[in-house]
């Protein structure tokens, strides 16, 4: 299995020691030397000999016994009975799609796939491929030669190939690709003679050397770009297509010199040596930093590995009748059913996605090459119907002939994903259950992003392409590393680049939005931003970006690093400063989609809400009640905190009660507002939980205030008041406050606090029940941090006594339950006893996780990242529930509790209530509800539906 981090992955900055080592292992006889004794009639035999020698050289140091291996290489379209189209685990998404397209008659250049099994074996076998697999590859090169009528390494009729990655799950741009492999000084001459197109041949060779130098030899791509740009400036040209044959010859010479300087050896001339090194580089790219980051961000397992696809080259850079492009069968930003894509004439594939030239809209192809355009539309529509999903396809047109290079399920924004899913149900392509499975629950968060306030005054600096919707404001930064650095310091950032590349993935993730001056709607920036749910404006060509100087110039305006800018990804506008935003408007399709989710889910979805505004927001998102109302959050309002502090500083019960009497009307009005908003839905209110010292000022602030008061010679009483606070801070100080005097322990020590809160709750409930604004409240009082039956019994008696007093006085009966928050492991273990008094359990998974692991929530950040990086933990247990340990406690507590009380209501109310994997677990053990923050309610609703439909914890479309 590939390790989580590459131990021998190629350097990206031109490390000569690594290069030299690779070259010594991979060294093979050059095509020139091998061909000397051969005549034309024996050319195939010679090429096989070259291949065998190259393979043998790569295995020089490997004298250990070969592991037993099965079939590791599949030709496109072979094994039809094996169902290649469904073999993503083995062939990867790209290889599986190419095999299936071949079998259905789509024009696909022939080729073969080296499986993900081979990748895993490559890592297990010390970065080497078994001899049997090497022989399979050589045999498949022979098969490819027969399919094309060309010869690999032949001087007169050379076969050129592309070498591309292809993992099970789409990872656009994260791994490596090499095009035009097989070119050398001799095959270049053959290509020129065959095509009678000098410029095309030299352009292809230039591209190949650059890709090989970067991907295989680890030389920074910017060093090649510098050579290219310097020549273009000297010749006073803007586009690569304007380079002459002489320019290209000059650039090739400079590229070779750069490789010689950085690697210590000449650019390899043996095609088989090129192929072996390219294949291994693609395998190693599975563990390059950007691929690791992408897998982490998208929850993709690290042990899957990537396949390698070797495919005969077709060329979009053979002149004006040739082109290359990418497209989608529907608009990936809006979901509209429209043919969507871009292309460039006289170009190769990387030109479109890299944003080097701004491409043309695919509709223009209907005018330039109408027959090809119609064929492309027909094929891609058939592919969408075949796969029953939006297709993201790549194509090349070589001298008027169309080839499909890839098809896969298209990355799309969540808004478009919802619309597409609903539309496809209406069209009969999929059913409702399939539609619900099409969207990852966490993606719904994108729909809740803010939009630019239409009434805001804006200063529009530029307008580019609306590449990914939403609005984002932040300080401009010009490198991915700076984006991460500033974001980690608490700043919101906008990443500004000429164009992004896969190495920028970490900066794109850290940024609020992405702005590029080059590239189109299918550029790297646009595709990745849409997948991440990030706002993106691409191809704003009037912006001059100076990444080294960390600034951009738009007309007469200079924006430097740190200056605030705002992006509107829905219109493509770039604005100066921070612009006001408004809450998003959810589409009609979203309501339909969520209604389908509600029809199939079993789990109820509640919210964590402490204010009427939070409660109203949660209801709008579909909450069915409140699962956690934290009463202590209400204490921090400016007009209340002095009263709370008065209560804490009180030296006896009488003084405490006086302070609590002042607080009671505030608490009552808070609860009354919440009950009215919830309109008869259940509301679970937790009595005070945090230790009292949290309501007091910072000790250092008080010390400083005392010193200032003394220096000003103020009244002694004022100084003594501050000194009393300081003394009380010291009295309340605890070495481990999370295990200290908090929760039910406070209520037992100071029952008057619980009394005040119960009186406020039931007075509010009675007033609402008697009024006409809302339905009678359903009140659930939750006692926190219970670890023993007697703790709950004590607090329950207090609540019942006060409730009966209030209802008798108010002459109103209110429906209520008294339960507990299970967050202490002992509480879970003795749940059968606790259930004799508790009418419901709500698992406080944050504290339960903390106490089960022995991890301090406040301090674990110092080591949790290390644990995750080193694979000690698979996931952060404070984000995704630990089902083996913490989950086991929840399971036995629920089972024990229900044995004692069959009608016991059981749910969770920690942060895990909005995590899809945790929701799957809650469904599987039969909990009744989960409670999440308001903006996680749609996520929880969909996750609960998918759990009911049997979706596994990890899926990705």
Residue 653, classed as helix, strand or coil, is helix
Question: What does the angle CA 329 – CA 335 – CA 339 come to, to the nearest 5 degrees?
Answer: 30
**Residues pairing with 477 in the sheet:** 495
Q: Residue 37: count other Cβ atoms within 10 Å of its Cβ.
A: 8
State how far the alpha carbon of 552 is from the alpha carbons of 476, 521, 542, 546, in Å: 9, 21, 10, 6
Residues 737, 740, 745, 749: is their CA dihedral positive or negative?
negative
Contacts of residue 807, Cβ cutoff 8 Å, sequence gap at least 6: 762, 766, 813, 814
Q: For residue 333, what are its two tokens? A: 């930003």
End-to-end CA distance of the chain: 23
Between CA 139 and CA 446 the distance in angstroms is 48
CA 311 to chain centre: 30
Q: Based on the number of CB atoms within 10 Å of its own CB, is 569 exposed (0-12), middle (13-18) or buried (19 or more)?
A: buried
Choose the catalytic residue: 524, 693, 912, 920: 524
State how far the alpha carbon of 3 is from the alpha carbons of 10, 92, 102, 288, in Å: 15, 18, 33, 11
Residues 139, 143, 149, 152: is their CA dihedral positive or negative?
negative
Question: What does the angle CA 32 – CA 34 – CA 39 come to, to the nearest 5 degrees?
Answer: 95
Choose the catalytic residue: 909, 920, 922, 923: 909
CB 393 within 8 A of CB 343: no
Q: For residue 142, what are its two tokens? A: 């022979």
Between CA 79 and CA 522 the distance in angstroms is 33
CA 515 to chain centre: 19
Active site residue 909: yes
CB 686 within 8 A of CB 799: no
CB 925 within 8 A of CB 888: no
Q: For residue 22, what are its two tokens? A: 């690779």
Between CA 200 and CA 188 the distance in angstroms is 10
Q: For residue 305, what are its two tokens? A: 């590995």
Residue 513, classed as helix, strand or coil, is strand
Residues 883, 885, 891, 894: is their CA dihedral positive or negative?
negative
Between CA 905 and CA 397 the distance in angstroms is 63
Between CA 728 and CA 1 the distance in angstroms is 58
Contacts of residue 129, Cβ cutoff 8 Å, sequence gap at least 6: 58, 118, 121, 122, 137, 279, 280
Q: For residue 84, what are its two tokens? A: 């290649």
Q: For residue 711, what are its two tokens? A: 């220096």
N residues, the chain: 957
Between CA 953 and CA 488 the distance in angstroms is 29
CB 285 within 8 A of CB 163: no
State how far the alpha carbon of 228 is from the alpha carbons of 392, 504, 608, in Å: 31, 22, 57
Strands 460-463 and 323-328: unpaired
CB 666 within 8 A of CB 616: no
Between CA 786 and CA 780 the distance in angstroms is 16
Q: Which residue intervals of 811-844 are DSSP H helices?
A: 825-829, 831-834
Return the residue matching tokens 């009244």.
715
Active site residue 535: no
Q: Based on the number of CB atoms within 10 Å of its own CB, is 41 exposed (0-12), middle (13-18) or buried (19 or more)?
A: exposed
**Residues pairing with 545 in the sheet:** 552
Active site residues per annotation: 524, 909
């Amino acid at each position: 299995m590939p390790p989580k981090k590459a131990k021998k992955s190629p350097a990206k900055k031109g490390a000569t020691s690594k290069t030299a080592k690779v070259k010594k292992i991979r060294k093979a006889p050059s095509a020139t030397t091998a061909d000397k004794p051969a005549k034309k009639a024996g050319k195939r035999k010679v090429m096989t000999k070259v291949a065998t020698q190259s393979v043998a050289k790569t295995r020089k140091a490997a004298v250990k016994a070969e592991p037993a291996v099965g079939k590791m290489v599949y030709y496109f379209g072979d094994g039809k009975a094996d169902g290649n189209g469904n073999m993503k685990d083995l062939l990867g998404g790209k290889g599986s799609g190419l095999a299936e397209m071949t079998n259905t008659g789509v024009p696909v250049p022939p080729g073969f796939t080296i499986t993900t099994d081979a990748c895993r074996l490559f890592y297990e076998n010390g970065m080497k491929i078994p001899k049997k697999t090497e022989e399979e590859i050589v045999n498949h090169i022979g098969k490819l030669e027969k399919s094309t009528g060309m010869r690999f390494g032949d001087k007169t009729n050379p076969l050129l190939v592309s070498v591309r990655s292809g993992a099970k799950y789409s990872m656009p741009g994260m791994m490596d690709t090499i095009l035009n492999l097989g070119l050398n000084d001799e095959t270049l001459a053959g290509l020129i003679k065959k095509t009678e197109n000098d410029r095309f041949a030299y352009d292809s060779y230039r591209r190949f050397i650059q890709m090989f130098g970067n991907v295989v030899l680890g030389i920074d791509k910017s060093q090649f770009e510098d050579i290219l740009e310097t020549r273009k400036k000297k010749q006073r040209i803007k586009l690569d297509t304007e380079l002459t044959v002489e320019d290209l010859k000059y650039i090739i010479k400079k590229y070779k010199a750069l490789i010689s300087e950085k690697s210590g050896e000449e650019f390899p001339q043996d095609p088989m040596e090129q192929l072996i090194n390219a294949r291994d580089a693609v395998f190693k790219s599975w563990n390059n930093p950007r691929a690791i980051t992408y897998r982490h961000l998208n929850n993709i397992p690290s042990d899957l590995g990537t396949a390698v696809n070797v495919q005969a080259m077709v060329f979009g850079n053979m002149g004006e009748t040739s082109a290359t492009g990418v497209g989608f069968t529907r608009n990936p930003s809006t979901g509209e059913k429209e043919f969507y894509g871009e292309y460039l004439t006289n170009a190769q594939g990387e030109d479109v996605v890299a944003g080097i030239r701004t491409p043309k809209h695919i509709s223009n192809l209907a005018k330039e090459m109408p027959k090809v355009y119609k064929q492309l539309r027909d094929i891609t529509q058939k592919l969408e119907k075949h796969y029953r999903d939006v297709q993201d396809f790549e194509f090349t047109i070589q001298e008027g002939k169309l080839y499909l290079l890839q098809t896969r399920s298209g990355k799309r924004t969540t808004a478009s994903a919802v619309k597409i899913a609903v539309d496809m149900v209406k069209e009969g392509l999929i059913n409702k259950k399939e539609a619900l499975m099409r969207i990852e629950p966490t993606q719904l968060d994108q729909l809740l992003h803010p939009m630019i306030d239409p009434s805001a005054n804006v200063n529009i600096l530029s307008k580019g392409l609306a590449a990914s919707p939403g609005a984002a404001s932040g300080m401009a930064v010009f490198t991915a590393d700076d984006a991460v650095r500033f974001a980690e310091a608490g700043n919101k950032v906008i990443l500004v680049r000429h164009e992004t590349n896969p190495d920028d993935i970490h900066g794109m993730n850290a940024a609020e939005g992405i702005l590029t001056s080059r590239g189109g709607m299918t550029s790297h920036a646009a595709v990745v931003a849409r997948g991440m749910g990030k706002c993106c404006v691409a191809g704003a060509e009037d912006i001059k970006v100076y990444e080294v100087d960390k600034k951009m110039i738009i007309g007469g305006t200079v924006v430097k690093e740190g200056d605030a800018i705002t992006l509107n990804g829905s219109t493509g506008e770039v604005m100066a400063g921070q612009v006001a935003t408004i809450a998003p408007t959810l589409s009609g399709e979203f309501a339909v989609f969520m209604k389908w989710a509600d029809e199939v889910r079993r789990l109820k979805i509640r919210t964590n809400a402490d204010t009427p505004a939070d409660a109203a927001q949660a209801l709008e998102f579909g909450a069915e009640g409140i699962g956690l109302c934290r009463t202590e959050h209400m204490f921090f309002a400016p007009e209340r905190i002095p009263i709370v502090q008065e209560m804490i500083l009180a030296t006896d019960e009488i003084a405490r009660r006086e302070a609590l009497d002042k607080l009671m009307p505030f608490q009552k009005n808070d609860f009354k507002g919440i009950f009215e908003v919830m309109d008869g839905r259940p509301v679970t209110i937790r009595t005070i939980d945090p230790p009292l010292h949290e309501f007091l000022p910072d000790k250092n602030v008080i010390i400083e205030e005392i010193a200032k008061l003394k220096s000003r010679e103020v009244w002694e009483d004022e100084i003594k008041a501050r000194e009393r606070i300081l003394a009380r801070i010291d009295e309340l100080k605890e070495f481990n406050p999370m295990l200290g005097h908090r929760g039910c322990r406070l209520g037992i020590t100071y029952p008057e606090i619980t009394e005040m809160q119960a009186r406020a709750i039931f007075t509010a409930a009675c007033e609402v029940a008697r009024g006409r604004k809302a339905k009678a409240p359903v009140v659930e009082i939750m006692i926190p941090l219970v670890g023993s039956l007697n703790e709950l019994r004590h607090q329950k008696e207090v609540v019942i006594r006060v409730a009966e007093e209030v209802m008798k006085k108010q002459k109103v009966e209110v429906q209520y339950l008294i339960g507990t928050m299970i967050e202490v492991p002992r509480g879970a273990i003795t749940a059968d006893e606790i259930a004799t008094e508790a009418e419901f359990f709500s698992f406080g998974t944050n504290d339960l996780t903390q106490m089960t692991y022995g991890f301090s929530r406040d301090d674990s950040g110092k080591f949790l990242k290390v644990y995750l990086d080193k694979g000690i933990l698979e996931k952060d247990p404070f984000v995704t529930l630990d089902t083996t340990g913490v989950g086991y406690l929840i399971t036995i507590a629920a089972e024990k509790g229900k044995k004692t009380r069959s009608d016991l209501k059981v749910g969770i109310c920690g942060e895990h209530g909005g995590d899809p994997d945790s929701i799957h677990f809650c469904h599987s053990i039969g909990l009744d509800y989960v409670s999440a923050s308001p903006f996680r309610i749609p996520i929880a609703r969909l996750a609960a539906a998918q759990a009911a439909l049997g979706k596994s914890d990890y899926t990705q479309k």
